[in-house]
């Protein structure tokens, strides 16, 4: 029951659809925004309508709790930097109990399937899943096909495998890449008994896993929802936007629409 209550807090309209804004990039890549802009960014994301923000445990201390309002808090427990010998490696840097003490509604972990350290990352996933079960805390798994043995990070069959790894190891929600062509994302979603979120992808159009050439992020959200996805987890394309509040509001209106399929134009050309 307690986990169910926390899960409901991750969707502000309680419709089991989700717009998460990860702001954990300061560990992997460097500062998200200058420190004087941090409160304004949080406020813009929350007022825009994000369902949850995702940050590392230490960053929570820089957030005025009054800024969060009805927005949920997810603590990310995995880390790795762009300066590591293996940039696909992830290690645990926090625990579920710590996250709870900090007021988290959920925790998240990151696993790269196909990386040289996949074995350790899967073991860490299992440790976190066990603790989440003991403490009744929702677990968001960010699981990607990423590493030297991965030829196509948007392959539908591979993504179906990836999201079901998250199911089998105990996740409540899974985030991964969007399949291409986008119509085949429906196969990935239909294979998976837990909500599937898609990553917002890099800021450069046409990059694997990100918005394809010619399509805006909002169009990308429409297409993803039409394929049965439960939402988006998009960070970089929000915090680098000149108008993050407006962008989040547009995305939230798509994700929480009564019938997402009605919002979708003919996207097969733009996103394939």
Among the listed residues 18, 57, 90, 175, the single catalytic one is 175
**Whole-model pTM above 0.85?**
yes
Beta-bridge partner residues of 55: 75
170-225 tens-digit pLDDT: 999 999 999 999 999 999 999 999 999 999 865 544 443 444 434 799 999 999 99
Identify whether 264 is part of a domain: no
Number of domains forming the structure of the chain: 1
Q: Is the pLDDT of residue 41 over 50?
A: yes
Residue 269 lies in a domain: no
Catalytic residue list contains 90: no
- Evaluate whether residue 61 is within a structural domain: yes
How far apart are the C-alpha atoms of 90 and 98, rounded to whole Å? 19
Instruction: Assess whether 144 carries a catalytic annotation.
Output: yes
- Cβ atoms of 53 and 111 within 8 Å: the answer is no
Domain that holds residue 22: 3-256
Query: Which among 19, 29, 16, 10 is positioned nearest to 247, based on CA atoms?
Result: 19
Specify the 3-state DSSP secondary structure of 51.
Answer: coil
| Contact (Cβ atoms closer than 8 angstroms) between residue 177 and residue 209 | yes
Residue 271 inside a domain? The answer is no
How many helices (H) does the chain have, and how many strands (E)?
10, 10
- Is the model's pLDDT at 261 over the cut of 60? no
From 18, 57, 90, 144, the catalytic residue: 144
Which tens digits make up the pLDDT trace of 95-140? 999 999 999 999 999 999 999 999 999 999 999 999 999 999 999 9
Is 166 a member of any domain? yes
The answer to whether 42 touches 72, Cβ cutoff 8 Å, is no
Over the stretch 155-173, which tens digit does the pLDDT of each residue have?
Answer: 999 999 999 999 999 999 9
**Chain Cα centroid distance, residue 14:** 18
């Amino acid at each position: 029951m307690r986990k169910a209550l926390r899960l409901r807090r991750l969707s502000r309209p309680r419709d089991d659809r989700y717009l998460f804004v990860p702001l954990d990039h300061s560990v992997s890549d460097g500062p998200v925004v200058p420190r004087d802009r941090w409160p304004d960014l949080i406020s813009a994301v929350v007022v825009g309508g994000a369902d949850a923000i995702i940050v590392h445990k230490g960053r929570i201390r820089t957030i005025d709790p009054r800024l969060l309002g009805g927005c949920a808090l997810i603590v990310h427990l995995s880390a790795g930097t762009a300066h590591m010998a293996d940039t696909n490696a992830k290690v645990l840097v926090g625990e579920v109990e710590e996250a709870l003490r900090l007021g988290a509604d959920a925790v998240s972990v990151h696993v790269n399937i196909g990386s040289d350290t996949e074995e350790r990352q899967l073991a860490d996933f299992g440790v976190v899943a066990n603790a989440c079960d003991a403490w009744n805390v929702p677990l968001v798994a960010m699981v990607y096909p990423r590493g030297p043995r991965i030829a196509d990070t948007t392959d539908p069959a591979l993504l179906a495998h990836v999201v079901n790894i998250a199911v089998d190891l105990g996740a409540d929600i899974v985030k991964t890449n969007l399949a291409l062509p986008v119509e085949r994302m429906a196969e990935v979603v239909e294979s998976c008994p837990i909500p599937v979120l898609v990553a917002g992808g890099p800021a450069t159009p046409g990059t694997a896993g990100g918005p394809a050439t010619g399509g805006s992020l909002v169009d990308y959200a429409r297409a993803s929802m039409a394929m049965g996805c439960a939402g988006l987890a998009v960070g970089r394309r929000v915090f680098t936007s000149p108008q993050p509040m407006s962008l989040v509001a547009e995305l939230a209106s798509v994700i929480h629409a009564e019938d997402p399929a009605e919002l979708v134009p003919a996207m097969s050309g733009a996103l394939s």
